[in-house]
């Protein structure tokens, strides 16, 4: 059975309703959970993915209503690329984006693949590309009335980082996470290093764009907060923890996240990396998702005693 390289992606948006409409209603991702950031419980945290909510399909959003806009730059987690079933799917999504006035760059080709780059309402950088390996029928995308199953988003294909020193990040990802260098190529006058792994779900990859020209990104609305890489089991999480301690990276310690365990650290270009266990006990709660306000707030057991306070804090 294949395992993902990328467990999930977490981004920063300003408004819960716009986020819900964009990712669930327009992109057709399954709405998995309305909860809060367990480290900052006054912050809303929304989860999207496929019907199962499995690692490799999860995309989450922190609502930060008063945060500044991001300032684009290097040393940034830059773009999430989703897999769709085919090149014909790109034509479907291009027409859908045009109809809904979604900023996009139309369908482009590079390195022998087709991409449709676009942005959400807050400037989060996204893209679609045809499935690299396997068959779409092997996956479990959300089904909606206006998005045919043959064009539905399947999960996370790849992720792009922009860094000052690509070799430093590549060495870290290869040593700590067992990734392999697949190729390097030049795009828009920048060298790109591509990392992957054997039998990765969706053929997932990390692309490291080396950019020593731009200033460092200032994170805000429209930024990726962190990328979570996959730990196949708890023992692997502990192995990486030991390597982090031996390397003396800044890190969080292991955290219990109710559905999985994880840790956070800063890699050599200061990107925030989470490592999260693949084995989860997540079961999507039954809910009708047409009305955001009718969806109940999920809280882990250790926060249930503070429900009244939390619900009051996250009210509009």
The torsion angles phi and psi of 38, rounded to 5 degrees, stand at -65, -20
Specify if 1 maps to a domain.
no
Specify if 55 maps to a domain.
yes
* DSSP per residue, 239-295: HHHHHHHHHT--B---EE-SS-EEEEEE-TT--EEEEEES-----PPP---S-GGGS
Residue 144 is given by DSSP the state B
How far is residue 132's CA from residue 130's CA, in Å, rounded to a whole number?
6
Specify if 44 maps to a domain.
yes
Buried/exposed code over 111-122 (b: 16+ C-beta within 10 A; e: otherwise): eeebbbbbbbbb
H or E segment and range at residue 18: helix 16-20
* Residue position matching structure tokens 């994170």: 219
Specify if 291 maps to a domain.
yes
Strand order in the sheet with 224-231: 30-36, 44-49, 58-63, 6-13, 224-231, 272-277, 261-266, 255-256
Specify if 186 maps to a domain.
yes
Q: For every one of its 316 residues, what pLDDT tens digit does the chain have, with 9 covering 90 and above? A: 589 999 999 999 999 999 999 999 999 999 999 999 999 999 999 999 999 999 999 999 999 999 999 999 999 999 999 999 999 999 999 999 999 999 999 999 988 899 999 999 999 999 999 999 989 999 999 989 899 999 999 999 999 999 999 999 999 999 999 999 999 999 889 999 999 998 899 999 999 999 999 999 999 999 999 999 999 999 999 999 999 999 989 899 999 988 899 999 999 999 999 999 998 777 777 777 789 999 999 999 999 999 999 999 998 6
Residue 136: CATH number of its domain: 3.10.180.10
Q: Which domain holds residue 210?
A: 6-313
Specify if 229 maps to a domain.
yes
pTM confidence score? 0.96
The torsion angles phi and psi of 166, rounded to 5 degrees, stand at -65, -35
Specify if 289 maps to a domain.
yes
What are the Cα distances from residue 258, in Å, to 255, 272, 304, 305?
9, 21, 13, 15
Specify if 185 maps to a domain.
yes
Q: Total structural domains in the chain?
A: 1
What are the Cα distances from residue 296, in Å, to 24, 55, 166, 189, 311?
16, 23, 43, 48, 10
């Amino acid at each position: 059975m294949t395992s993902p390289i990328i467990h999930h992606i977490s981004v920063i948006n300003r408004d819960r309703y716009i986020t819900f409409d964009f990712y669930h209603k327009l992109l057709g991702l399954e709405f998995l959970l309305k909860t809060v950031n367990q480290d900052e419980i006054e912050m809303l945290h929304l989860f999207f993915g496929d019907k199962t909510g499995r690692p490799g399909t999860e995309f989450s959003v922190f609502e930060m209503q008063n945060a500044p806009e991001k300032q684009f730059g290097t040393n940034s987690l830059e773009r999430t690329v989703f897999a769709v079933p085919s090149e014909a799917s790109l034509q479907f999504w291009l027409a859908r984006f045009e109809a809904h006035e979604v900023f996009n760059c139309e369908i482009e080709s590079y390195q022998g693949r087709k991409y449709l780059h676009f942005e959400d309402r807050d400037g989060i950088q996204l893209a679609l590309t045809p499935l690299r390996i396997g068959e779409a029928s092997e996956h479990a995308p959300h089904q909606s009335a206006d998005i045919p199953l043959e064009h539905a988003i399947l999960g996370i294909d790849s992720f792009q980082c922009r860094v000052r020193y690509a070799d430093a990040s590549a060495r870290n990802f290869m040593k700590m996470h067992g990734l392999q260098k697949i190729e390097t190529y030049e795009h828009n006058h920048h060298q790109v290093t591509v990392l992957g792994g054997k039998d990765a779900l969706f053929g997932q990859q990390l692309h490291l764009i080396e950019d020593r020209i731009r200033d460092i990104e200032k994170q805000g609305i429209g930024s990726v907060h962190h990328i979570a890489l996959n730990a196949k089991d708890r023992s692997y999480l502990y192995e990486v923890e030991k390597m982090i301690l031996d390397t003396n990276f800044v890190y969080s310690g292991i955290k219990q996240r109710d559905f999985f365990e994880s840790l956070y650290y800063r890699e050599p270009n200061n990107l925030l990396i989470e490592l999260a266990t693949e084995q989860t006990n997540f079961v999507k709660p039954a809910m009708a998702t047409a009305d955001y306000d009718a969806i109940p707030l999920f809280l882990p057991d250790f926060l249930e005693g503070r429900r009244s306070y939390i619900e009051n804090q996250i009210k509009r």
